[in-house]
């Protein structure tokens, strides 16, 4: 059995990775229907050495091609998804949406295949792909939660610029280049910080300079003083783990890294879990690799870093240790490629799960 698959937002960073994951994982694709905005109309997309012309995303074009499409992957923003996902779905097409549009809708499955695949069903045509930072955290925490029940989570994220799109990555590149062009060995120890500042171009992706800087804001601020990104982690984690009792607090920070998100995670469990037990649980967890050998002479084996996680189809965890301030606490460091497991890979794995469960 093969499938005709629409990729909405096919020319974007995540859309491109969706196409790559379909190919790399050898999903049974018969034909690709690449949709994008009018700006990309007529562009060519290469998939399995075959060239496809980008289709402008309009209601007329969706209706024109929907009779030939069985599955759709969306990565085109929440407003586009709200408008177009139901059009695909009403024609019987399963839609896996990467935006925030449907995640907290009670009847829409919010799926990480390693964690809650049982929420998929034949009559639920729209499926939400969780937030990138949520996905990598729950992949690691879910196996521990099953054994010892997590009562509390505190997480600080260190999120790469690719999470804000290709223009954000270019902004980091340009600002970093501008800083480096001004620096010398002598200026590095200067008391004048103007050597590290660049003129902020307008319009820009980030509110302040990202080159050689950290920004403790991802998305807009809400009335409770948390950002929208931070509350996504709170609310989505509870929904995916199916446990509203977990207390969660998040701080999300944008860092000058091109790709792969990192997270410092503290958990408190109902039952005591030793470091060794946690490592054993995670060593057998699907989609997870423990990289935790702090005294190894090879630094690359001591703990995961974003560089090593980039383009890898895995979520890494290391620095697992007991929390000194809490009897049943553990601290850990989680790293994963946000464009893959945090977006495109998870979406394709949802399609694989639909196929495995004979839902499609």
Vertex 23: Cα angle to 21 and 26 (nearest 5): 100
User: Three-class SS string for 102-146?
Assistant: CCCCCCCCECCCCCCHHHCCCCCCEEECCCHHHHHHHHHHHHHHH
User: What are the backbone dihedrals phi and psi of residue 247, each rounded to the nearest 5 degrees, phi first?
Assistant: -90, 125
Catalytic: 261?
A: yes
Angle at 86 between CA 82 and CA 89, to 5 degrees: 145
DSSP 39-58: GGTT-EEEETTEEEEPEE--
| Cα–Cα distance, 258 to 255 (Å, whole number) | 9
With CA atoms as reference, report the closest residue to 76 among 84, 65, 64: 84
Q: CB neighbours of 275 closer than 8 A, spacing ≥ 6? A: 320, 321, 322, 330
Of 118, 145, 252, 261, which is the active-site residue? 261
132 is catalytic: yes
Structure tokens at 305: 């870093």
Q: What positions carry a catalytic annotation?
A: 132, 261
């Amino acid at each position: 059995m093969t499938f005709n698959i629409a990729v909405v937002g096919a020319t974007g960073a995540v859309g491109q990775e969706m196409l790559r994951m379909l190919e790399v994982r050898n999903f049974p694709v018969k034909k690709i229907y690449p949709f994008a905005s009018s700006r990309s109309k007529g562009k060519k997309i290469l998939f399995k050495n075959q060239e496809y012309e980008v289709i402008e995303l309009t209601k007329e074009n969706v209706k024109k091609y929907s009779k030939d499409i069985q599955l759709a992957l969306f990565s085109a923003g929440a407003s586009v998804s709200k408008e177009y996902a139901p059009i695909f779905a009403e024609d019987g097409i399963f839609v896996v949406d990467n935006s925030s549009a449907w995640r907290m809708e009670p009847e829409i499955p919010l799926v990480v295949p390693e964690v809650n695949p049982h929420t998929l069903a034949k009559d639920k045509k729209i499926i939400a792909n969780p937030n990138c930072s949520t996905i990598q955290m729950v992949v690691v925490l879910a196996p521990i939660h099953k054994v010892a029940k997590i009562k509390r989570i505190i997480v600080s994220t260190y999120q790469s610029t690719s999470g804000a799109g290709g223009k954000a990555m270019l902004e980091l590149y340009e600002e970093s280049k501008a800083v480096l062009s001004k620096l010398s060995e002598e200026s590095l120890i200067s008391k004048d910080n103007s050597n590290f500042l660049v003129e902020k171009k307008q319009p820009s992706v980030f509110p302040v300079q990202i080159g050689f800087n950290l920004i403790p804001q991802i998305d807009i601020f809400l009335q409770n003083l948390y950002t929208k990104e931070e509350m996504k982690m709170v609310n989505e984690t509870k929904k995916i783990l199916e446990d509203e009792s977990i207390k969660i607090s998040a701080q999300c920070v944008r860092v000058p890294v091109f790709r792969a998100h990192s997270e410092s995670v503290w958990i408190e469990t109902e039952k005591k879990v030793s470091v060794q037990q946690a490592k054993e649980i995670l060593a057998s967890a699907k989609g997870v690799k423990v990289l935790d050998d702090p005294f190894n002479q090879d630094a690359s084996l001591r703990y995961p870093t974003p560089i090593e996680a980039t383009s890898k189809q895995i979520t890494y965890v290391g620095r697992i240790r007991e929390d000194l301030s809490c009897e049943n606490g553990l601290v850990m460091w989680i790293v994963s490629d946000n464009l893959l497991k945090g977006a495109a890979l998870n979406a394709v794995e949802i399609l694989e799960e639909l196929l495995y469960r004979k839902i499609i």
